[in-house]
Structure 1
Amino acid sequence: MATGSVDGLISGMSTSAVISSLMQVEAAPQTALKSKVATQQKVVGAYQGINTKMQALLTAAKAIGDPTAWKGGVATSSSDAATASTTASSSTQSGSLTFRVNHLATAHSIVFDTPVTAVTDNIMGGSSFQINFADGPKTVNVTDTSLQGVVDAINKTPDLGVKATAFQVSPGKYTMQITSTSLGLQSKFDLGGSPFSGLGAVTPVTEGSDAELTIGDATTPLKVTSSSNTFKDLMGGLSVTAVKEQAPTDPPVTVTVARDTEGVATKVQAMVDAANAALSEIATQTKNKSGAVPGGPLAGNSIMSQVATRVLNTVSGGTGTNGSFKDIGIELTRDGRLTFDKTKFTAALTADPDKTQALFIDAAQSDVTLKNGLADRMTAVADKATQTNTGTLSRLIISGNDAITELNHRVDDWDVRLQARQATLQKQFGAMETALGKLKNQGNWLSGQLASLG
């Protein structure tokens, strides 16, 4: 705290240094409070660090605890004529499907056969025309009836479903093409009447048609159609996108969907890693002092030790009647960590997918507190620790921050007291200097009087 400068001119005393020393003694209680604030901030920071790790564990446990995570498939295609992809859902199937790409989806498009000599030439009478789709007509209003004006009117009409282009057929010869913005049979349209008398007759460019796959005998194949080139949910969770039409001599496309064991194993590994990260963070923050090595901010904290124990108990507590976690490659080490044998897990998942899934998700038990699945248990432990406002860590963080706020208020109160005390000391030392000055003057007068008697 600044003391100002009131060094004595009469006494010769460094009064500012004296006041500074006295103020350090006076500020000792405030210094102790600031130390408490710093300590409490480290404690809250430690809780927040553990909370972050436990939230990551909660996310990872929920990911593997979602039944659809076990339904994912990996799709492969035998030909570049089609690609395949899968989405994880309760209906995802494993298996294969063989077909031919007979047609790709096309957009309906027309052109006009009588060019005009300039894009500014008039091509229609009236102020509007209609474009007819299967679901009804749409009207285009026109203010400029030139070729370019009509093109602009079509392209500026919102949600019309077609776009127009004026292009040069040969030097000084221009016409118009109108093309649907969608694919398939639904893209077909025609013009009401013959609105563009200046451009002659309509000539089709492409007929709007659906994409088509054929399955089975070449003479009487089963046809599968789509308004786009993507056939969604062709099998449960499987979508196929046709890329190019196949010639009759091309070999058929075979799409195979296999269980995504690698994807499931990756999610399990993520949960194990998240659990170990949380355990490591708790160990770091709660470690005791050892010789010259300082302890963690939460040294000896029994509540955090209990959280770590609950994480470990999800594995050590067994699985009820569903088998052993060891059978799927998950075990505890002597130093309190989880290990995951991916090879053993993958073999178990391949051999018996339902049994393996049951070790993580206890679908038979409706009471969440009684579920034996590993993912269920991890989710419950992590959720209990991190739940907003009510979780173990959340309450400790809130309590710690409240304590810091209270301590900071007390520090601020001491600022006021110390400022007042400093002002008092400065006034007292100033008064002392004044008194000493008067005494010095009196002494000088007396000395003069005595000298005059001499």
Structure 2
Amino acid sequence: MASIILPGLGLGSGLDTTAIVKALVDADKAAKQGQIDRGTKTNTSSISGIGTLKSLMAAFAKSMTDLGSKTSPQFGGFVASSSEVKFVTAIATNTAVGGTYAIDVTNLATSSKVASAAFAGGTTSSITDGTLTIEQGSGTFNLDIKPGATLQSVRDSINADASLKSAGISANIVTDSFGSRLVLGSTTTGAGSDISVSGIPELTIDGGNVIGTSTSPMDEFSAGSIGAVAVDAKFTVDGMALTSKSNAVDKAVSGLTFNLVSVGKATVTVATNTDGLKASIQKFVDAYNAIANSVTALTKPSLDDEGNPTVSAALTGDALPRSILSAIRGPLSETGAGDKLTVLAQLGITTNQKTGALDFDSTKFTAALNDKKLGGEVQELFTGNNGLLERMNKAIAPFSDAGGVLDQRTTSLNKTKTKLTNEQAALDRRIESLTAVLTKKYNDMDTLVGKLKATASNITSMFEAMAAQQKNS
């Protein structure tokens, strides 16, 4: 052990007891404090690194979910465009065929809206109790109207009924110059979808009776379909006359859904979705590279000019990031369930051997779509049954799911953090106690030495006085 240099002199012993105590305490504390400091530094860095990993995995999982959306498909092999979107819009699936279609919309499909006779008493008008029967097409719905019901309570009962709500039927109250009327509407369109109401005399509505027209003006007794009954959509495709109960027409042309917007003409063009597919694939490549590069950065230490490590990364030496990289690389090499298109390399997507990231060759991609006609199979490769996105989500689930590997690691690191905090507190208490004990001992020693020195000085003075007296006698 190195010798302790004691600066300055004390009052009693001539020793700097404060410095002695500090040196002894520091020597006793050094080993354990170093262990705690190293552990705390490593633990803090790991907590930060795992937190970053969790954020990266969450962002990657969201990217995979967004790309695999069933409501907004990202990998359509074909795209349909309309010359007049104010009349017709169109969506193409992977079974579509390239070409053009002339659409002429002459009539939109409409839904039923009916009104009861007017109630002069307004929304609080009394309604006879009994069973209110609402019919639409083949559907019949019975509603129990309790004694004391009002027009408003009947409306509220209709809107609260789960079966009516599921059928898309709702009610409201409209007040005109004759009084308040119960008005029922439906989201169902097409001929034969008119609503009729029976069972309560004052709320009886014949859906086949049209009111509110020039030939049938409104009065307080008017009840029936407002303006017109529900009708089918009428349109032509390349001159062929067609009808549809819905304005979303998905059976007229294979692989296409026409959305009829208003009366008018439009030309719908179907072509290979080269730009859309390229953009979607680029999103996948970017999402993959973002996590692959970031995970690598969490384990790669900083290097000096000679290539020697200088500063360790947050998770240097940790096997978990490598496990994640291995997990997300696995699905890339698996063969898909497509016919002609089974691997990413066919679309110009390859793994960079130096960085581990993905490279996307747009020239090879364009050739795959134009020359090999693989556009229709891209969606199947990525989002089909057991497609790449599904396999990727399964691969990252053990890490990103609640209670998964990353959550378990975070819990373990937090326990270690608590343990280190407790060890630091225990060490501080022990050092405080040791400091107090040593301080008392050295203070006692200093006091005792001071007394001994005083006694020695008195004895010396006595002998000097005796010697002087003998010399003078």
Structure 2 length as normaliser, TM-score? 0.63
Which residue of structure 2 lines up, in the alignment, with residue 289 of structure 1?
A: 303
2:135 partner letter: F
Counterpart-to-counterpart distance in 2, 1:168 and 1:362:
56
Which residue of structure 1 lines up, in the alignment, with residue 148 of structure 2?
A: 143
Distance 1:272 1:382, change over 3 A: farther
**What SS does structure 1 have at the residue aligned with 2:89?**
strand
Asked whether the equivalents of residues 183 and 210 of structure 1 are also in contact (C-alpha less than 8 Å), the reply is no
CA deviations 1:80-138 (Å, max 9, x no partner) are: 1233346x7xx75345653525233133222537x74x6499676x4456243143343
2:209 maps to 1:190: no
Aligned residues: 419
Counterpart-to-counterpart distance in 1, 2:289 and 2:305:
27
1:180 is displaced (CA, Å) by 2.3
1:294 partner letter: T
1:200 is displaced (CA, Å) by 3.3
Counterpart-to-counterpart distance in 2, 1:380 and 1:193:
56
1:97-176 mapped onto 2 (5 Å cutoff): 98=103, 100-112=105-117, 116=120, 119=122, 126-128=128-130, 130-134=132-136, 135-136=139-140, 137-141=142-146, 143=148, 149-157=150-158, 158-159=160-161, 161-169=169-177, 174-176=179-181
1:163 is displaced (CA, Å) by 2.4
Distance 1:429 1:263, change over 3 A: farther
Counterpart-to-counterpart distance in 2, 1:107 and 1:352:
50
Q: Which of 29, 32, 35 lines up with 1:33 in the alignment?
A: 35
Distance 1:130 1:377, change over 3 A: closer
Unaligned runs of 5+ in 1: 1-6
Q: Percent sequence identity over matched residues?
A: 20
Q: Which of 415, 425, 434 lines up with 1:421 in the alignment?
A: 434
Counterpart-to-counterpart distance in 2, 1:317 and 1:131:
61
Q: Which of 236, 239, 248 lines up with 1:215 in the alignment?
A: 236
RMSD: 5.7
Q: Which of 251, 270, 285 lines up with 1:272 in the alignment?
A: 285
Asked whether the equivalents of residues 84 and 255 of structure 1 are also in contact (C-alpha less than 8 Å), the reply is yes
Counterpart-to-counterpart distance in 1, 2:176 and 2:318:
83
Structure 1 length as normaliser, TM-score? 0.65
2:348 maps to 1:329: yes
Counterpart-to-counterpart distance in 2, 1:439 and 1:58:
80
1:52-63 mapped onto 2 (5 Å cutoff): none
1:107 partner letter: S
**What SS does structure 2 have at the residue aligned with 1:215?**
strand
Unaligned runs of 5+ in 2: 1-8, 205-218
Which residue of structure 2 lines up, in the alignment, with residue 341 of structure 1?
A: 361
Distance 1:140 1:360, change over 3 A: closer
1:150 partner letter: L
The worse-fitting range, judged by mean Cα deviation, of 390-399 and 203-212 is 390-399
Distance 1:127 1:402, change over 3 A: closer
CA deviations 1:273-303 (Å, max 9, x no partner) are: 3454424652573246325982433899596
Which residue of structure 2 lines up, in the alignment, with residue 82 of structure 1?
A: 88
1:213 is displaced (CA, Å) by 3.5
Asked whether the equivalents of residues 251 and 257 of structure 2 are also in contact (C-alpha less than 8 Å), the reply is yes
**What SS does structure 2 have at the residue aligned with 1:112?**
coil
1:418 partner letter: I
**What SS does structure 1 have at the residue aligned with 2:80?**
strand
CA deviations 1:293-318 (Å, max 9, x no partner) are: 82433899596997799799989999
Asked whether the equivalents of residues 323 and 359 of structure 1 are also in contact (C-alpha less than 8 Å), the reply is no
